[in-house]
Amino acid sequence: MVHNAMSATEFYILKYLWSRETPATFSEIMTHFNEEEKKEWKKQTVNTFLTRLAQKGFLNIDKSGKRAIYIPSVSKKKYYEDYAQQIIEDSYEGSLKNFICAFTENHKLTSNEKEELLTYVRSL
C-alpha cells in the first residue's frame, strides 16, 4: 500500500485515526473534523472517504455493534515502511545506495548521522 493510492483527504483522516488510542465511531470522526479541525464536512462526504479507505484496504469497519467502529487496518509504522520501500523501488531502481546518494548529494551528513548510518548498516 502506498500513499499515492489515496487522496490527501483520505490520508488526513487515516492520520487522525492513527493518532487515537482506540477505534473511532462515525460520530467521533465527524466531531473531530468539524469541531476541532473546523471543517464543514457533510456526513455523506465523510462516509465516502471512509468507504474508499476501506475499499483500498487501509481501514476496517466493524459493524457488529450498534454503531460502526473504524479501525486502521495498517499501522502507521508499517504504512511508512511500505511507502519508503515503494519510493526506493519506483524512483531508485530498488537500490538503497542510489537513494542515499541522491539524498546526500545536496544534504551533507553530519559526523553523527554518518556514524548512526554506519552503525545501522553494520547491525543488518
Closest among 15, 7, 22, 54 to 37, alpha carbons compared:
15
pLDDT of residue 18: 98
Cα torsion angle, 15, 21, 22, 28, sign: negative
CB 99 within 8 A of CB 83: no
Percent of the chain clearing pLDDT 90 (strictly above): 75
Mean pLDDT of the chain: 92
pLDDT of residue 5: 82
Mean pLDDT of 68-83: 95
The structure's pTM equals 0.80
The pLDDT of residue 100 is above 90: no
Of 42-51, 62-71, 93-102, give the lowest mean pLDDT range: 93-102
Residues in the chain: 124
Rounded to 10 degrees, the C-alpha dihedral 12/13/15/16 comes to: 120
Question: What SS3 string covers 43-85?
Answer: HHHHHHHHHHHHHCCCEEEECCCCCCEEEECCCHHHHHHHHHH
Mean pLDDT of 11-40: 96
Cβ count within 10 A of residue 59:
22
Q: How confident is the model at residue 1 (pLDDT cuts 50, 70, 90)?
A: low
